Structure 1
Amino acid sequence: MIAPLPAAAQIVVLAKEPVPGKVKTRLTPPFTSGEAALLAAAALEDTLAAVAAVRVRRRVLAFDGPPGSWLRDGFTVIPQRGGGLDERLSAAFEDAHRRCPLPIVLIGGDTPQVTGDLLADAVAALRTRDAVYGPASDGGFWLLGLCRPDPELLLGVPMSLPTTGSAQLRRLRRSGLSVAIMPELTDVDRLQDAVRVAAEAPRSRFAAALAGIGEPRSSSAS
């Protein structure tokens, strides 16, 4: 049987180095900064594994920090640039597209329950739509795909708010783009999110890391 050719697209993962005190700060408390960093590292590894399972032309990690030994083969690493999240998202699209002018599906490292099949569906959607959008349960978004990146589609969208997702989707549609909508996923930002996501993906590295940490010393976020 002849294996299918890689899709003429690329997937970009936007992530930070999992350093205590730098990542998943909304998990502290109830977790320590070290525990939160362990969860972030596990989530990133799960995300990269899902991306590696998708047959695309190029896989990119837009990273804030030096990559570690966990980095899988087949990923191109580019540095993040910009200040706010809207700037960093826009720059990641721009930099990846400049190096390889193909449609881009971009995700973060906050949804370790994501699967290769979900990502493949997002890539496929860009064959017939201008954009693909994945809503998050907190009002944000976990995935954004664009056939032709444009800074005007992202810059100035207020980030990290319950209205971020609706504002981003409105920006896409007001720009005249046709948009495919992906299933809603939960970003891991708080204890409740971590428990829910681990239950949805019980065989994930994230679930194993959460189980290894055990019951947080404080349950104030539950």
Structure 2
Amino acid sequence: MSPSRPALIVFCREPVARQAKTRLIGAMTAAAAAALSDAFIRDALAKAVSIGPSRIIIAASAAGGVERSKYFRRLARRFGAELIDQGDGSLGKRMARALEPFSSSGALLIGTDTPSLPGALLAASLGALRRSRVLIAPSLDGGYYALGVRGAMPPIFTAIRWGSGGVFDSTVKRLKRAGIRYALGPAWYDVDRWADVMLLAAHLRLLAGARHRGGASPCPATESVLDQLGVLRHDR
């Protein structure tokens, strides 16, 4: 019998001005940064729907709890997703809490800061988790943007310097030390800082230039916000 399809967990926080994408504030307004964060979330959920996991889960953080968040309740209805609260604690503790209920069939947890990631690559990572106990997809800043677990939780959620450039390396070392085999997903770039936004804009302009050959934008909501902000017209 082939392994069941894993669930896909979109891990995010409510895009509130001055709390979302704060490293972009200054290069853009707090409201614009929040709008971009919202677009990232919507694009991640649309991508999740397109690849057809067994279940889509929004693991969210919001003031007052996600069940009281009109924003997340609306997204859950729109994308046919289940809604759970990340809860308190470190990033590792919150990720483990989101993944643990899905340990029997497996779940792939993704962030929302890789909007240009092609859906086909996300689907490949989800598929690889059916053959592996752990799937980890590195981001170019030294972290990872996707983590899949099937079975017992591996010892990779504590004693990690979250937010540092060594998160991916530290996680892989912990997996090797524990003798846990893992699969690698494709590397991709995060969008956290203004230089990343410029990279994203350049990438989207290249994709748009080639779109006459067919194909859709990997992140239409993000592309729309960047266009409204004038970023996609930069240096044209």
- TM-score normalised per structure 1: 0.86
**Alpha-carbon separation, structure 1, partners of 2:73 and 2:114:** 20
- The residue number in structure 1 matching 2:30 is 33
1:7 shift after superposition: 5.2
- The residue number in structure 2 matching 1:88 is 94
SS at match of 2:39: helix
**8 A Cα contact 2:134 2:148, kept in partner:** yes
For residue 222 of structure 2, the aligned residue among 175, 183, 206 is: 206
**Alpha-carbon separation, structure 1, partners of 2:4 and 2:32:** 37
* Mapping for residues 158-197 of structure 1, pairs under 5 Å: 158-197=161-200
**8 A Cα contact 1:9 1:56, kept in partner:** yes
**8 A Cα contact 2:45 2:79, kept in partner:** no
Paired-residue identity, %: 30
**Alpha-carbon separation, structure 1, partners of 2:96 and 2:158:** 7
1:156 shift after superposition: 2.1
SS at match of 2:136: strand
Once structures 1 and 2 are overlaid, which stretch shifts more, 193-202 or 138-147?
193-202
- The residue number in structure 1 matching 2:211 is none
Q: Name the structure where helix makes up a greater proportion of residues.
A: 2
Structure 2 counterpart of 1:31, one-letter code: M
- The residue number in structure 2 matching 1:134 is 137
SS at match of 2:161: coil
Structure 1 counterpart of 2:31, one-letter code: G
* 1:107 and 2:107 matched: no
**8 A Cα contact 1:7 1:56, kept in partner:** no
**Alpha-carbon separation, structure 1, partners of 2:115 and 2:143:** 16
1:183 shift after superposition: 1.5
Summarize the Cα distance change of 1:32–1:119 in structure 2 as closer, same or farther, 3 Å threshold. Answer: same
**Alpha-carbon separation, structure 2, partners of 1:149 and 1:186:** 29
Q: Name the structure where strand makes up a greater proportion of residues.
A: 1
Taking only aligned residues, the RMSD between alpha carbons, in angstroms, comes to: 2.1
SS at match of 1:60: strand
- The residue number in structure 2 matching 1:49 is 46
**8 A Cα contact 1:90 1:151, kept in partner:** no
- The residue number in structure 2 matching 1:74 is 80
Provide runs of 4+ in structure 1 moved above 4 Å: none
Q: Name stretches of at least 5 consecutive residues in structure 1 with no aligned partner.
A: 1-5, 216-222
**Alpha-carbon separation, structure 2, partners of 1:128 and 1:152:** 20
Summarize the Cα distance change of 1:145–1:213 in structure 2 as closer, same or farther, 3 Å threshold. Answer: same
For residue 63 of structure 1, the aligned residue among 56, 60, 73 is: 60
**8 A Cα contact 2:46 2:79, kept in partner:** no
**8 A Cα contact 2:8 2:48, kept in partner:** yes
**Alpha-carbon separation, structure 2, partners of 1:188 and 1:164:** 17
1:157-202 per-residue CA deviation (whole Å, 9 max, x = no partner) reads: 1110011111112222222121111121111101111122233345
**Alpha-carbon separation, structure 1, partners of 2:8 and 2:22:** 26
**Alpha-carbon separation, structure 2, partners of 1:156 and 1:170:** 12
**8 A Cα contact 2:114 2:145, kept in partner:** yes
**8 A Cα contact 2:5 2:130, kept in partner:** no
SS at match of 2:6: strand
